[in-house]
Amino acid sequence: MGPGATGLAGALSLAGALPAGPPLLLDTVPPGGDALSHGRGLDCWEVRKHNSSEWCHFIRSNPDCRLDGGFLDYIDGVFCVFPPRLLPLAVTLYALWLLYLFIILGVTAEKFFCPNLSAISTNLKLSHNVAVFSLTSPLHGVTFLAFGNGAPDVFSAVVAFSDPRTAGLAIGAIFGAGVFVTTVVAGGIALVKPFTAASRPFLRDVIFYMVAVFLTFMVLYLGRIRLGEALGYLGLYVFYVLTVVLCTWIHRRQRGDGLVPPGPWEPEMPTDVEEPEPSGTNSGDYGEEYRPLLPSRETSLRILTTALSPLDYRKWRRKPWYWRLFKAFKVPVELVLLLTVPVVDPDKDDLNWKRPLNCLHILTSPLLCILTLKSGTYGLYQIQGVFPVWGLVTLVASALALIIFITTSNEDPPKYHCVFAFLGFLASAMWINAAATEVVNILRTLGVIFQLSNTVLGLTLLAWGNSIGGEGSAGPQCPPGTPWGPPAIPKVSLCPSTDTFSDLTMARQGYPRMAFSACFGGIIFNILVGVGLGCLLQMTSSQPLVKLEPDSPLVWVLAGALGLSLVFSFVTVPAQCFQLGKAYGICLIAYYLVFLCVALLTEFRVIHFSTP
């Protein structure tokens, strides 16, 4: 048994000292400096090499074990709060909390972030240019759609890049999610519903994605990313957006003026599967058949209690037990989000105006923003050492909420109601950022416990959590045009999720081409904006240079596997005349399983590769 196998057995048993071996380090250092971890003394993962009685002292005396950001110190908790014999219990609790954080990310993005982004695009009159271009083409979502769907991924990458010790999580997650989506998800779509892929959009997206992967490979090979290269990532995405818009405009001109009607492969845009439960709205809207014949005035208290109820009781009775169980886990999250994040719905007559709740949002949303920014550092700051910032915000927001409550009515939204969409967008973004910070900190703690590199945690747990997701947008239950299908101009969610379950559902219900398009279109946003913005913010806040030093060959395995999967699709899809069937899907899924085995064997040093 080799040392890698011994390390794996020791990690799984959670007992005894683990064998030594440097994890992947991607560090941010000043120009000409050495790797940051080499100047901090011992690496934190070496704690398991010491006697269990010395764990707490080692953690608290080693600067490398300090977590930057976040509300909980997970490393201190597992090694100082829990006794050594209860280490498996601590790991179990951390794993459950990690799963719940992924639920928080999914619920926040789907029901609050995306609806407010949709309202903002509507108010900015973007729904009939950039947004419509992407919505009416086979490859949609290059701007607002991609931002809404990729928010958890991008926020996770930005948070991971903010700390040199967790930058490997970002690289692992971006590459790992790319391999997962382009193999497992794309292959699953082909298995569920064989179809004909859109030729020119597919080739365009694969070429752009290969360029992005090659650019990242060169950055890792050179070992650093400068300001110009970080801006190059963002510039390449802008060029990609312009290319999509230009191609759509040319396609419209070739087909005649007006929007291009959907072809035989592209039915009307799908609506959400969970249509009876609109995002962020109260559960009292059950449809026309449940509305009273005569309008009645509701009291402010009833409006508030109804708007804060995350459950649709009629829907609850119709759903199976596993849906109810999952919903029960989400109810606390949805309740807190309803209290702190306003949602504007342009498709409703009242724009989802709930006067008492929206007035409450005037107080809770700003408090949420300042108490989650930098983990509450700014909110708890005391002005001249006397009055806290959160107290000042409370006073100002309370006065403004009282004025709005007095000057408005329950029935008609005010003219400035669109401002609540921006407030909700900001508040939901702060929720996503806070949850992503906790996810990164937990993953780093698990890496210390199991002596795993950040890269392998990124390509597995973080990539799977962001890619699998929860309930997202998918295809309609019946095709348009049938007696049971959606109307001719259906309501379109601005966040058609590229999550695994959502894409497979979309394919199963007759939209495989659209689901396949999302696999290659959405991850372009994640890699270009995630790496570019993450490194750019890191340079702005601390260093003029982000130095990436892959000390493990696993990074090259990741980059090579992603590039090879893209080349495979780029060659085989046109070779099949873009007719994708079960054989293509089986090959992609088998490729991912082989890649995962090679990656794990490389991590535990069973397979050795020479690094550049």
Dist. CA 200–CA 83, nearest whole Å: 59
pLDDT (tens digit per residue) in 273-288: 344 444 444 444 444 4
| Predicted local distance difference test score (pLDDT) of residue 471 | 46
Using left for φ > 0, alpha for ψ between -120 and 50, and beta otherwise, residue 482 falls in: beta
pLDDT (tens digit per residue) in 182-218: 999 899 999 998 999 888 889 998 999 999 999 998 9
- The residues near 496 (Cβ < 8 Å, ≥ 6 apart) are 140, 141, 145, 149, 270, 472, 473, 474, 502, 506, 514, 518
Q: What string of H, E and C letters represents the secondary structure of 13-56?
A: HCCCCCCCCCCCCCCCCCCCCCCHHHHCCCCHHHHHHCCHHHHH
Estimate to the nearest angstrom the gap between the alpha carbon of 37 and the chain centroid: 28
Total H helices, total E strands in the chain: 23, 6
Tokens of 55: 């764990």
Which amino acid is it at 468? I
| Predicted local distance difference test score (pLDDT) of residue 125 | 63
Q: What string of H, E and C letters represents the secondary structure of 471-507?
A: CCCCCCCCCCCCCCCCCCCCCCCCCCCCCHHHHHHHH
Q: What string of H, E and C letters represents the secondary structure of 280-326?
A: CCCCCCCCHHHCCCCCCCCCHHHHHHHHCCCCCHHHHHHCCHHHHHH
564 within 8 A of 168, measured Cβ to Cβ: no
Dist. CA 221–CA 559, nearest whole Å: 11
Residue 447: Cβ-neighbour burial (10 angstroms; 0-12, 13-18, 19+):
buried
Residue that the structure tokens 């799963």 belong to: 99
- The residues near 93 (Cβ < 8 Å, ≥ 6 apart) are none
| Predicted local distance difference test score (pLDDT) of residue 140 | 42
DSSP assignment of 234-285, as one string? Answer: HHHHHHHHHHHHHHHHHHHHHH-SSPPPP-TT--SPP--TTTTS-TT--TT-
| Predicted local distance difference test score (pLDDT) of residue 469 | 56
List 579's β-bridge partners, or say none.
196
List 476's β-bridge partners, or say none.
none
Phi, then psi, of 179 in degrees rounded to 5: -65, -45
| Predicted local distance difference test score (pLDDT) of residue 209 | 93
Dist. CA 559–CA 612, nearest whole Å: 13
pLDDT (tens digit per residue) in 459-513: 888 888 877 754 444 343 333 333 333 333 334 344 444 467 777 877 888 888 8
Distances (CA, A) of 124 to 115, 136, 144: 14, 19, 12
Phi, then psi, of 58 in degrees rounded to 5: -60, -45
- The residues near 15 (Cβ < 8 Å, ≥ 6 apart) are none
DSSP assignment of 588-609, as one string? Answer: HHHHHHHHHHHHHHHHTTSS--
Dist. CA 131–CA 128, nearest whole Å: 6
Which amino acid is it at 281? T
270 within 8 A of 506, measured Cβ to Cβ: yes
β pairing state of 387-388 and 224-225: unpaired
| Predicted local distance difference test score (pLDDT) of residue 152 | 77
- The residues near 6 (Cβ < 8 Å, ≥ 6 apart) are 19
- The residues near 59 (Cβ < 8 Å, ≥ 6 apart) are 44, 47, 65, 75, 76, 79, 80
- The residues near 61 (Cβ < 8 Å, ≥ 6 apart) are none
- The residues near 491 (Cβ < 8 Å, ≥ 6 apart) are 271, 272, 275, 347
Residue 52: Cβ-neighbour burial (10 angstroms; 0-12, 13-18, 19+):
middle
Residues of the chain with pLDDT under 50: 1-40, 127-141, 258-290, 294, 470-498
Tokens of 379: 């909110």
| Predicted local distance difference test score (pLDDT) of residue 543 | 67
List 586's β-bridge partners, or say none.
none
Dist. CA 414–CA 407, nearest whole Å: 9
Tokens of 492: 């379109």
Dist. CA 316–CA 169, nearest whole Å: 38
Domains (range + CATH), the chain = 82-249+327-409+419-468+495-604 (1.20.1420.30)
- Closest residue by Cα to residue 553 from 212, 220, 79: 220
- Residue 118 sits at the vertex; the CA angle it makes with 464 and 493, to the nearest 5 degrees, is 60
Length of the chain: 612
Dist. CA 291–CA 289, nearest whole Å: 6
